[in-house]
Each structure stands twice: as structure tokens, then as C-alpha cells.
Amino acid sequence: MSLRRRASKMNNTLDIITGSKLGKRHIVEDILGEGGFGVVAKCQNMCTGRTEAVKVNRCEPDDMYQAFVEISLLKRLRCLNADTCNIVEWNGYFFHEENICMTFEVLDVSLDTYLTQRGNPGLPVTEIRPVLHQVATALSHLHSIGVVHLDLKPENIMVVDRTQQPVRVKIIDFGLSGLLSEIKQGLRQGSTWYMAPEMILAAPLNETLDMWSLGVIAAELAMGCPLYPGNIDYDVLSYIVETQGHGCHPEGRRNSRLSCLDDIGHRMSMLHLDAGQRVKAREALQHPFFAPGVQRKEDAQTVDLSEVRVQHPATFNLNEHLKAKMGMLLCACYNFIFLDSFIDLFL
């Protein structure tokens, strides 16, 4: 490892160098990641001897404000046990010059990286089941104290140690999270690929926003590729229409590549288009899919969805037919009951 490794110039207000010191007690060992917020560095705490992940926020006014908002929320999460609730352990914050630095436990790799490194078209059910259960458990605890994550995606779910089976995971990055009581219609947070349709369409919101994201992640773990990788909102919504196209593609008349999605079931409702009917995290944990000792012949197999994968174009031609579909989907979010969930794919 180079002792002169730096954060890239995109974070030009930061100059994080391996071997340098952050604050009074942290020595930088490596750069773990970068983003619009700043840099995450792997550091040794000279006082405790522990290795910690330090999130160094840029000192721009907006970034400073967002960092204080995140710290306020992280303080709220201290009533939860980080290990049993499957959320990253936060150890506090300090200042490095004008930069706010938050310290966390060091985890292994993101779920996105884990899936890529496996090199498989998807994970076997024996691996998918514990991951979904752990994330649903985390969401159940977060929602119980009035917190919604709002940016759940594979990059924000970390594998604790990829060498252990079954894998343990934890939710990270509460930078966009908020209080359920403060969520207002029209809020826009997170990645469009994993965003619930009611958020895209500026419809009323509730905590099941996170459950939609988990349902999309479940499908991605099974298929080995993102379910709705649209470049713009219309792309994502049109994928949803194609896979759940009630009213546009009646059952039995859908594209053959997508028709088997109707066999997935109507029980857990993670991907229910009506947020009011979508399953809550605590309810999902009671589903038979998670019953202790459940073992099925399909468990050792990866889920073959090769016939379901959509040939995602870079963009869709936004013709009148597609615009009509979007209007139907908007109505659907308020008025209808649709395809419930991908979860019974694993039953």
C-alpha cells in the first residue's frame, strides 16, 4: 500500500494522506471510499488501538449542515444495539481543522461488491434468506423509533465478514435518513433505481418506502443484476409497468420474458404499488419464508431468471403510449392492488 495515497481531487477541500493524522488521535491507514460528502478513511485510534472507519465531511456549508443533521440522527440511534439491530456502530465525532469527522466500526465490503465478487448470476436462497431477514430486522427497529433510512441500496448494506457463512450484514450511511414524522409529500431522497414509485410521483409517503427498496434488492440478489436501472424517472416507471403492468399488460398477455414474475406470489407485498397495502418490516419478519428450520429443495440453487431479464435500453422513447402508462401507474399508486412481492420466488 502506498504511503502517499490521497483522496482524489474531486474532494479538493480535503487532503487525506495515508500516514497522516486526523484530529488528535487518528492515523490514516487507507482510503476506503469517496463520495459527494467527502472521504471515508480507515484509521487507527492511537488511544484505544482500535481500527475505525472515519467519515471526513467537506467543510462546505451544505455539507456541514448535513453532517450535523446526520449526527443528530445517529444520536437517536444510540438507543438501539448496533449488533442485534444490524446497523453500523457509531463511535462519535470530532473535528479535523474545519472538517467534521464521524467514526464508525470497520466493516468488510458492501453487498454490491460482495455480489460482484461472487461472479454468479445470483445468490442461492440459502444466502438470500439471512440477508433479507437481517435487513428487515434493522428496518423494523429503525421504524419502531420513527426513523426511515430513505437510501437503502446494496452499496449501503455492508457485509461484516465475507469469509463467514451465513453472512452477517449491517445497514450504513444515514446521511439522507430522517424522521417519519417529518417526511412530507414531495420529498425526493436516494437512488432512483431503488426508489418507491410514490416518491418518484410525489404521492403520499410512509415508512414502507424502505420496504420497496428491500424488495428491489431481493430481486437483484436473485438475478445478479439491478431490477430497475433506469437513467431517468420514466425509465424506472416503465420498467415497473412492464413487470407489474396491471391494466397495461393483463395476466397471460405480458411479454414472455416477464410473465413468470406473476408466479412470485402475493404474500409479503414488499413491491406492492399501493404504499398503504405494502408490508411493514415487522410484518415481513413473521412471514413463513423466515421460519426457523425452513429448508426447501430450491434452497441450494440460484434463481434462474435468465428469461426474465429485461434488455434495458439507455432510454425509452417517451411516446404517447408510454405517457398513458405512466398515468395509469399514477392512478394505481392510489387506487389498486397489484403484484405483491418477489419474495415467494424463493418458496
Q: Which helix (H) or strand (E) holds 321?
A: helix 320-335
- Does residue 2 fall inside a structural domain? no
Same domain (yes/no): 99, 115: no
Other C-beta atoms closer than 10 Å to the C-beta of 172 total: 22
Q: What pLDDT is recorded for position 295?
A: 58
Q: What pLDDT is recorded for position 245?
A: 57
Same domain (yes/no): 232, 325: yes
Q: What pLDDT is recorded for position 79?
A: 98
Q: Cell numbers of 331, please?
A: 392512478
How far apart, in Å, are the Cα atoms of 83 and each of 8, 56, 113, 130, 293? 33, 24, 22, 15, 22
Predicted TM-score (pTM) of the model is 0.81
- Does residue 129 fall inside a structural domain? yes
Q: Which residues pair with 55 in a beta bridge?
A: 40, 102
Number of domains observed in the structure of the chain: 2
Q: Which residue is catalytic, options 63, 151, 235, 274?
A: 151
Task: Please name the residues in contact with 168: beta carbons below 8 A apart, sequence gap of 6 or more.
Answer: 86, 134, 159, 160, 161
Q: What pLDDT is recorded for position 336?
A: 32
Q: What pLDDT is recorded for position 268?
A: 60
Q: Provide the 3-class DSSP secondary structure of residue 266.
A: coil
Q: Provide the 3-class DSSP secondary structure of residue 26.
A: strand
Q: What pLDDT is recorded for position 299?
A: 57
Q: Which residues pair with 86 in a beta bridge?
A: none
Same domain (yes/no): 212, 121: yes
Q: Name the domain boundary from 105, 139, 156.
A: 105
55 Ramachandran zone, left/alpha/beta (phi>0; psi -120 to 50): beta
Establish whether 151 is a catalytic residue.
yes
Q: Tell me the mean pLDDT per 10 residues along the chain, length 347.
A: 42 74 97 89 97 95 92 97 98 95 97 90 87 97 98 97 95 96 91 95 95 93 89 90 59 38 49 91 90 60 42 39 47 37 35
- Does residue 187 fall inside a structural domain? yes
Same domain (yes/no): 36, 166: no
